[in-house]
Structure 1
């Protein structure tokens, strides 16, 4: 088989390979390298000479570490560089070992471990690939035929090949976390700044920043350690302590022995206990059956029945044969077997290769979901560094011209960098997120990934699961609609009106997967409601009662009241034994059971499932003519409809035949019994929330595993599809005998008429919605991939979707540049919750540990709170970033002007600006809560957009203009005497310093006030009492400091003291106060009359020649000429 079919593709360069694993969402580039002594020598020499700086830089950027290696053919590589699709790099060592494959072939393995997966060199294809590619596939019959345990030597070889069966979550020590954290570029820059400030005798602020840095580091360490411990505890809680495994001794005899779960290998034969057992690996069930709880993996706490494999020539696959596969981490409630037969399971996957391992890896290595704001902020910081470089150059020029001391020149020049790029910037930007997280916690919405709060502010599409999310979790019985002589009779709402011996009642009493656990009936909510409707009882008899059922121990159901017609007596009560069960299959959309009444020789098969499926299983003459009409009627009203059927088995059909019978033989030629109608009501909060989202121009879609007509009805009920809008079902129709390889025809089915009427319509995109099911989705992906973007823009209901299809859909929607949220109850939604930009779990199940948000509010109103808080946090992050950037540029301007004037800001002045003014305002500016109303306008997401940059540049220009204007005004005063130009020492107490310090101090408060505006995303400024108190207090103090400071205060702040007799200077200071007032008015005008106005955005679009939107989904929405003429696709 060609390598490309596996997804491991060598390309023209023998040093380079593409590694593409869809199952693990891995798309990587591999580059081969080998040792070079010469390069390694020069690398370490530079590292020593430059005091370890190259080592530090290389630790930040893995590709730089390849300088000590040279590129080579992958076959010779001793090191590989892996670059994934998200820009992450890893440099890994290639190891070698001798190994023995299960085929008994001895090989020399070259391999490396990447994200807990083992990749080996495959000589035939000249690529690296997973170990599985060296292992031959197994058929179902092959697994069933081999019931022998492993020999000890084979076990040792397998343990060496696969490694131990461990999912080990490393919990790093605090010391190691501390080392990793402090060598982060941000903290290295902070340490550099603190050292520089100490050399400049700026001790107070250096100590303050050091304390804040230590607090930030400790908080980060605690959070990281807490998350690691939580995941470690989650994994450890689902571990078992010992297992029984069957292995062969020297005499080739199978011996059952105790084993450590970590020593299990693929191929081992597990002997399962009777109950209470946590699966340590993925294993396929060879004999007996098990009842397991898979909530660890799916979030669904309903017990699932696993049955042993049935003979088949199919290649075994855990996904295809999941009904026969026991998954690692799931809890086996009990096992069942017949006679002395042991319950055996063959180990197929261990460690991180298991389904549980894949879940853990998805948590350890989530797909990065970056917000444009963070990317732009990095660009902005880089621009600030460039500006700092220019400022440093100018500073060097000034001090070289003055022939200053080398140390002074270096300190002053480097100080420019810490001014232009404030070390407190990242910490300040998290202020809004911290406040939002605190408010969300009060609303019982918990967050494990705080940066995702900002992402909530950009949500453009909201996806919802149906059952348990939009509707109540449980299902209530509405009625049963019996069939007599191929005609529907009147619906029955109480089972007492049906005879106990009626086949319809028997079908409801037997066709389910319920079980008794701790004397409590447990199972699927639908099955529970159906069984409780009958009023029957379920028993799981002991071995002393098996003689009545051909020496097996079946599940027994019996009516509450005696059935006299059937000869019910204490010796032979009326009972039905469930001999065999074919579990519900989401692929087949049905389940069936084989039963026998006590004292009856004949067996009966009962089946239930989706009505469309049951229709195909029944004899046509037993189906009512108005079947489709009646089904559409109930489904159209939002009811969950189930079809029921049965057939009598022949007298020759005994227990052995029942155990050997194929499912398709049982599920055919049935007699239709009727419909089971169940109701699943909307939660009261659903419709109002959908209206709020629509009013905010946030698109809503439903992704459910339920019937498509039921889903459409719920979509209409909650007004996801408005009453005046049309909705069509998009379906596929094969043109030749349902051949899977033939290009299918796409057809539309109108929900206004019968669902079988195929129509061809040019869709009016403004008033039309589509609904598709999982089968159609797969067909369109395969045969019409180019049509998907247009279809996704028009589809509101996605029904009968499997968990993996939900994840695929979320990914496709993201590819259209939607910021996607997904709200689910945890059942089968885990993949979609992880894939979405914003995943909200309404379930407390363990699987929700992967969702960034978990809500104790069990309805979708939590999403509105998240979007409101997200918008508030995002706007606050923007405001704080702009404020901190302008604060640094204001100080940068002040310092450069003073440097030119042979002056400088004093330590107290720096401290007052950096700590008292800026820190207090930056911290309190984010205390404003979110707006109460979710508006249609979303906050900006980009810092480098013209609409954001132009107002920032206007504010920068205004600040520089005010400072230069202030200095010019000072020069015009007759009494003013400048600092002597030949002064060798920098003068602090002078009029240039005093004036610029006073005016610039006002500028920091003015800009904080300008960027603290509330509407439309935050509450008005009046609600932020802390900020107002700080701003007013600082303004009053600065007015006093400017006009009439006391001598002691003037000396403390190192400003010019104003004697009372100096009337001209007093008049100057009062006039100087007008400059901040004018600056305030101009800054507010820029922000309110320019930045926030629609005319300004339109003007920018005209200037920048922006004619089309950048988002793909907006381009598709603008294409008004698009019509889906489905007869001519």
Structure 2
């Protein structure tokens, strides 16, 4: 017995299964299968004998088809793999994938394998490739050379068989386990065409393929849906019974539903494909040392590419080797802020795309401009292509979001199952009764099968779309567009909303409020006229500590950097050096000088020179520069700018102002954004200047600090809690208000955690870095029309958060509508079922046109206008509407209404038989049903459909009152009048058309109308008084016990009510280290001072609340931890 990744196997020590993914939320296992000849033949025979029904069943459950036609085997011999995806132990899905082989041994110009990886222009290279080894780099750390490999693809990931480890391992990109030094190899010469093609046989073309299915395939998949298969069954039964009218109506409604679904699916697939598709022309360095222009989809990991000077889209993930590059990463961050990328240094440290993000160009981002001293090109090395890129991961997250189930959908299936059980009871009753009466076998078959088509309404999917259809139309009028109709009803249950803070809750603009200078270890008053501080150290820091650049003669960069620099009144110059001799000297990257002053030679008079920049790191919460004055070439100074708590943690204790905590609290509580700045003079000799380079910072230590009952925390703290204190994470999420500085993955983790607590979560964001969270949430609302709009069901053309309340309003109205229509449809089916069973007892039934009148004229009319009641447009109700169909209240309501309807129908059925003029029904023909019982039951039931339509059509607080729905009220009034006309005094042609046997006296006709009115009073009284008043408002609140709730967040809230001081302020968690980075200040150590002169603060009014991160430095700064914040809505930064 062997164990591979935790999965045991039997037999000859060969593993038959393994774990291929093991994360906190999701586990995926793969099991090997090989073809079974006997099983395949038996399955084929079964499909033939069942007229294809067995194959249809296997279409719904493909893993059962695999069980039937294959047998379990070792993974090394498997021709197919069954992937079992277990998400949180709640959702389990089965995916069947074929294991394919790729080899260089049998390449030929006409082979399908060659055509997959080679362009026509490369056919001449086949002979040189044949038998060559492929370089496999696997996720488990294996690196090997082999002329062939076998693999399967699942969720856009490639899993390659590793012979050494005897397991499937995910194919990794070039940067996996690579050192920064290794990525600098082949810097002068690129890949040869042969090596490029071999790499393509592993990674494929550099393209992100989004499948767009054809109309024929989509149509086939749609009609094979179980509900539509049942509709086909119903149509066959109806046509055999001669019931053509309603059958045609159902065909038309189903056709409309199928066409709408196909159009929506196709449009979504096409939109995503068009959004992510991008092809550029790039220049690639070849092994010969020459450059070749190729299409970007031919790039492979390892290629060396030349970056254009400006305005181009990055077509892959690459590390910058030479020069600098300014890019717009709004696709990733949602912020259109230029980011400067610097060359990756050839160090022996392992490359990490997060730690080295300032040296990495990401696919889909836009190059604004590149810079290189001299005439040398700006080069980058391709490390990831296609689906391995950051953009590819984003698309994969969109295509395969975390599964979310909606209780209304679950309960609707449960209720349909209950209806099927009721149908079986009717089936057996009808079967026994008709056999007893000696009916023919054909008639028995048709009548008994008709029971199923009555109890389980085939038109249910069509009428359930009514509420969603009206909601989509209303949202569209408000410039909110929906691409997933399923999300409409879910949005009605939203009880937790996460807002992306940056750019969503906040505006882009900000103003400089002032500068607070450290004067003798005490902070002074804010100085609003910044030029007055020109002799202070902080003024020099404001001039130099930034990553600004000049683009098209305009200052460009982070808006905060721009605002701080502009407040000084100085100007920025960027030198252009072409002299090779100068390139070897330590020369400034950028000059800053007073406005309207010109320099002489290389140095502007009285200016500052920025020698080295260390870009802002969210992990380190700061950026740094090394600068010097133009008139002091050896006077190097390090300036650092960042979050106050981080700058304080790096500073000498004696240099920290005594009133820093109170000052910081004063400004942050007023909503100002506070940036701290510090400096340190660096003494460098000429010899040291030549060897100047960065060194790594030793481990910084930080913990978490708690203050009040509502929490604000940063992404770093979230990661710490998730990795080491996951037991308190649910409580933090329950009481969390602001989650700041969160990465894309962390946003998605937060949303998933909230869903696990029982919340129905909506996410509102505007950037591609929100895509994971938008997709993971029950409802995603995008304020952008870029990638995030494809990831979210809703997109608002008006980029502000007012759309959230509109979506929730319409969602609640649609949910209440769907809830009401479902109850109405179930009650309609049961009413028709009761009528049919009652009449079957005397071998009668409704005639074809009677069924048509009930099904089309009444049911379809009421159902269609049911949803036209608009959403309640006043203040949102605190509690969302119920989404449970199988809870006590709706089931009790449905049951009692069904009993009331049955009682009244039984009354008229037996009461009519008591009159002297009554003549018993004698069946003469199997399709002649006219009798007095038929008339009585049919006429009363026509009123009952109007009654239940009124009863289940609710108004406030989620919809406007029913009388505002004029078309619905008009249809009720008109059809009620028509019902009374048919019951009391119909024209003869109406009598003949409906095949009615009218009673000879009018007393009974008026009595039926009177009984219908009493039926209405009983039903409306029961629903209004017993259900809505007694049960909903009186009994349920009295017996509600939060400690017994099934929702975890309610249990936690109840638990924390008894712990007002949780977490205790005095307690401290163990100190944990931050990952070391190479991007820190020169020759700094953990407690080294970088602030020998001053610590000062810039206060910026950003019209948003500045929430300090949850970090605690070892210098003992207080009040920088959890932030007290009122409100119940989560914000994600």
TM, length-normalised to structure 2: 0.84
Report the alpha carbon displacement of residue 80 of structure 1 after superposing the two structures with TM.
Answer: 1.4
Is the alpha carbon distance of 1:455 and 1:798 closer, same or farther for their aligned partners in structure 2, counting shifts above 3 Å? same
Is the alpha carbon distance of 1:1096 and 1:522 closer, same or farther for their aligned partners in structure 2, counting shifts above 3 Å? closer
Cα shift readout 1:726-782 (whole Å, capped 9, x = no counterpart)? xxxxxxxxxxx9779xxx7x65347xxxxxxxxxxxxxxxxx323333333333333
Between the aligned partners of 1:310 and 1:978, the Cα distance in structure 2 is 100
The residue number in structure 1 matching 2:854 is: 913
Is the alpha carbon distance of 1:813 and 1:575 closer, same or farther for their aligned partners in structure 2, counting shifts above 3 Å? same
Report the alpha carbon displacement of residue 428 of structure 1 after superposing the two structures with TM.
Answer: 0.9
The residue number in structure 2 matching 1:160 is: 201
Work out whether 1:1112 is the aligned partner of 2:1053: no
What runs of 5+ residues in structure 2 fail to find an aligned partner? 104-132, 137-142, 1070-1133
The residue number in structure 2 matching 1:62 is: 62
Between the aligned partners of 2:971 and 2:53, the Cα distance in structure 1 is 42
Report the alpha carbon displacement of residue 1100 of structure 1 after superposing the two structures with TM.
Answer: 7.5
Secondary structure of the residue aligned to 1:633 is: helix
Report the alpha carbon displacement of residue 192 of structure 1 after superposing the two structures with TM.
Answer: 2.6
Is the alpha carbon distance of 1:108 and 1:10 closer, same or farther for their aligned partners in structure 2, counting shifts above 3 Å? farther
The residue number in structure 2 matching 1:629 is: 662
Secondary structure of the residue aligned to 1:132 is: coil
Between the aligned partners of 1:748 and 1:1010, the Cα distance in structure 2 is 52
Whether the 8 Å CA contact 1:392–1:414 is kept in 2: the answer is yes
The residue number in structure 2 matching 1:641 is: 674
Whether the 8 Å CA contact 2:642–2:677 is kept in 1: the answer is yes
Q: Quick one: which of 805, 815, 830 aligns to 1:874?
A: 815
The residue number in structure 2 matching 1:212 is: 253
Secondary structure of the residue aligned to 2:315 is: coil
Between the aligned partners of 1:561 and 1:245, the Cα distance in structure 2 is 43
Work out whether 1:139 is the aligned partner of 2:179: yes
Work out whether 1:527 is the aligned partner of 2:568: no
Between the aligned partners of 2:513 and 2:601, the Cα distance in structure 1 is 33
Work out whether 1:1072 is the aligned partner of 2:1008: yes
Whether the 8 Å CA contact 1:303–1:523 is kept in 2: the answer is yes
Between the aligned partners of 1:273 and 1:129, the Cα distance in structure 2 is 37
Whether the 8 Å CA contact 2:275–2:786 is kept in 1: the answer is no
Report the alpha carbon displacement of residue 1080 of structure 1 after superposing the two structures with TM.
Answer: 0.6
The residue number in structure 2 matching 1:261 is: 296
TM, length-normalised to structure 1: 0.85
Alignment of 1:637-786 (within 5 A): 637-650=670-683, 652=685, 657=690, 660-662=693-695, 748-749=706-707, 768-786=709-727
Cα shift readout 1:668-727 (whole Å, capped 9, x = no counterpart)? xxxxxxxxxxxxxxxxxxxxxxxxxxxxxxxxxxxxxxxxxxxxxxxxxxxxxxxxxxxx
Cα shift readout 1:519-560 (whole Å, capped 9, x = no counterpart)? 333322211221222233334444479999959683343322
Work out whether 1:40 is the aligned partner of 2:40: yes
Work out whether 1:970 is the aligned partner of 2:922: no
Report the alpha carbon displacement of residue 653 of structure 1 after superposing the two structures with TM.
Answer: 5.8
Alignment of 1:493-512 (within 5 A): 493-499=528-534, 503-512=537-546
The residue number in structure 2 matching 1:49 is: 49
Between the aligned partners of 1:258 and 1:134, the Cα distance in structure 2 is 22
The residue number in structure 2 matching 1:516 is: 550
Cα shift readout 1:654-673 (whole Å, capped 9, x = no counterpart)? 996487334759xxxxxxxx
Secondary structure of the residue aligned to 1:150 is: coil
Cα shift readout 1:304-347 (whole Å, capped 9, x = no counterpart)? 11111124332212223222111112112222222243322222
Work out whether 1:170 is the aligned partner of 2:215: no
Between the aligned partners of 2:587 and 2:134, the Cα distance in structure 1 is 43
Whether the 8 Å CA contact 2:174–2:302 is kept in 1: the answer is no
Report the alpha carbon displacement of residue 139 of structure 1 after superposing the two structures with TM.
Answer: 1.2
Secondary structure of the residue aligned to 2:376 is: coil
Q: Quick one: which of 94, 100, 107 aligns to 1:95?
A: 100
Q: Quick one: which of 415, 418, 425 aligns to 1:383?
A: 418
Q: Quick one: which of 488, 492, 495 aligns to 1:453?
A: 488
Between the aligned partners of 1:517 and 1:311, the Cα distance in structure 2 is 29
Between the aligned partners of 2:580 and 2:664, the Cα distance in structure 1 is 41
Secondary structure of the residue aligned to 1:88 is: strand
Q: Quick one: which of 805, 822, 833 aligns to 2:763?
A: 822
Between the aligned partners of 1:262 and 1:654, the Cα distance in structure 2 is 47
Between the aligned partners of 1:360 and 1:1105, the Cα distance in structure 2 is 43
Report the alpha carbon displacement of residue 405 of structure 1 after superposing the two structures with TM.
Answer: 3.2
Is the alpha carbon distance of 1:843 and 1:235 closer, same or farther for their aligned partners in structure 2, counting shifts above 3 Å? closer
When structure 1 is superposed on structure 2, of 995-1004 and 293-302 the one drifting more is 293-302
Between the aligned partners of 1:578 and 1:465, the Cα distance in structure 2 is 34
Is the alpha carbon distance of 1:399 and 1:485 closer, same or farther for their aligned partners in structure 2, counting shifts above 3 Å? same
The residue number in structure 1 matching 2:450 is: 415
Between the aligned partners of 2:759 and 2:76, the Cα distance in structure 1 is 42
Work out whether 1:115 is the aligned partner of 2:155: yes
Report the alpha carbon displacement of residue 874 of structure 1 after superposing the two structures with TM.
Answer: 0.9
Report the alpha carbon displacement of residue 490 of structure 1 after superposing the two structures with TM.
Answer: 3.1
Q: Quick one: which of 572, 589, 595 aligns to 2:621?
A: 589
Secondary structure of the residue aligned to 2:728 is: helix
Between the aligned partners of 1:518 and 1:135, the Cα distance in structure 2 is 34
Is the alpha carbon distance of 1:364 and 1:792 closer, same or farther for their aligned partners in structure 2, counting shifts above 3 Å? closer
Residue-pair matches, total: 1016
Between the aligned partners of 2:682 and 2:1038, the Cα distance in structure 1 is 78
Between the aligned partners of 1:845 and 1:497, the Cα distance in structure 2 is 44
Which of the pair has the greater relative contact order for Cα pairs under 8 Å at 6+ separation? 2
Report the alpha carbon displacement of residue 459 of structure 1 after superposing the two structures with TM.
Answer: 1.7
Whether the 8 Å CA contact 1:947–1:1097 is kept in 2: the answer is no
Between the aligned partners of 1:162 and 1:827, the Cα distance in structure 2 is 24
Q: Quick one: which of 300, 305, 318 aligns to 1:270?
A: 305
Whether the 8 Å CA contact 1:601–1:651 is kept in 2: the answer is no
Whether the 8 Å CA contact 2:39–2:70 is kept in 1: the answer is yes
Is the alpha carbon distance of 1:394 and 1:654 closer, same or farther for their aligned partners in structure 2, counting shifts above 3 Å? farther
Report the alpha carbon displacement of residue 450 of structure 1 after superposing the two structures with TM.
Answer: 2.2
The residue number in structure 2 matching 1:936 is: 878
Cα shift readout 1:893-928 (whole Å, capped 9, x = no counterpart)? 111222221222112111111111100100111111
Whether the 8 Å CA contact 1:608–1:644 is kept in 2: the answer is yes
Report the alpha carbon displacement of residue 633 of structure 1 after superposing the two structures with TM.
Answer: 1.9
Is the alpha carbon distance of 1:939 and 1:860 closer, same or farther for their aligned partners in structure 2, counting shifts above 3 Å? same
Whether the 8 Å CA contact 1:246–1:254 is kept in 2: the answer is yes
Between the aligned partners of 1:1102 and 1:394, the Cα distance in structure 2 is 42
Secondary structure of the residue aligned to 1:328 is: coil
Is the alpha carbon distance of 1:799 and 1:300 closer, same or farther for their aligned partners in structure 2, counting shifts above 3 Å? closer
Q: Could you say what the CA RMSD is over the residues aligned between the two structures, in angstroms?
A: 3.1
Between the aligned partners of 2:578 and 2:163, the Cα distance in structure 1 is 60
The residue number in structure 1 matching 2:1077 is: none
The residue number in structure 2 matching 1:283 is: 318
Between the aligned partners of 1:624 and 1:466, the Cα distance in structure 2 is 31
Report the alpha carbon displacement of residue 128 of structure 1 after superposing the two structures with TM.
Answer: 2.3
Cα shift readout 1:425-461 (whole Å, capped 9, x = no counterpart)? 1111121111112222222322222221211222222
Report the alpha carbon displacement of residue 53 of structure 1 after superposing the two structures with TM.
Answer: 1.8
Whether the 8 Å CA contact 2:375–2:578 is kept in 1: the answer is no
Between the aligned partners of 2:877 and 2:453, the Cα distance in structure 1 is 40
Secondary structure of the residue aligned to 2:222 is: helix
Report the alpha carbon displacement of residue 815 of structure 1 after superposing the two structures with TM.
Answer: 1.3
Between the aligned partners of 2:900 and 2:27, the Cα distance in structure 1 is 48
Report the alpha carbon displacement of residue 119 of structure 1 after superposing the two structures with TM.
Answer: 0.8
Between the aligned partners of 1:119 and 1:134, the Cα distance in structure 2 is 16
Report the alpha carbon displacement of residue 803 of structure 1 after superposing the two structures with TM.
Answer: 3.3
Report the alpha carbon displacement of residue 810 of structure 1 after superposing the two structures with TM.
Answer: 1.9
Cα shift readout 1:1051-1099 (whole Å, capped 9, x = no counterpart)? 12211246xxx4xx21111112111111111111221112213546876
Whether the 8 Å CA contact 1:338–1:552 is kept in 2: the answer is no
Between the aligned partners of 2:258 and 2:688, the Cα distance in structure 1 is 68
Work out whether 1:242 is the aligned partner of 2:288: no
Cα shift readout 1:914-972 (whole Å, capped 9, x = no counterpart)? 11110010011111112223222331121111122111111111111111111011111
Is the alpha carbon distance of 1:657 and 1:903 closer, same or farther for their aligned partners in structure 2, counting shifts above 3 Å? farther
Whether the 8 Å CA contact 1:824–1:840 is kept in 2: the answer is yes
Report the alpha carbon displacement of residue 168 of structure 1 after superposing the two structures with TM.
Answer: 1.1
Between the aligned partners of 2:782 and 2:174, the Cα distance in structure 1 is 39
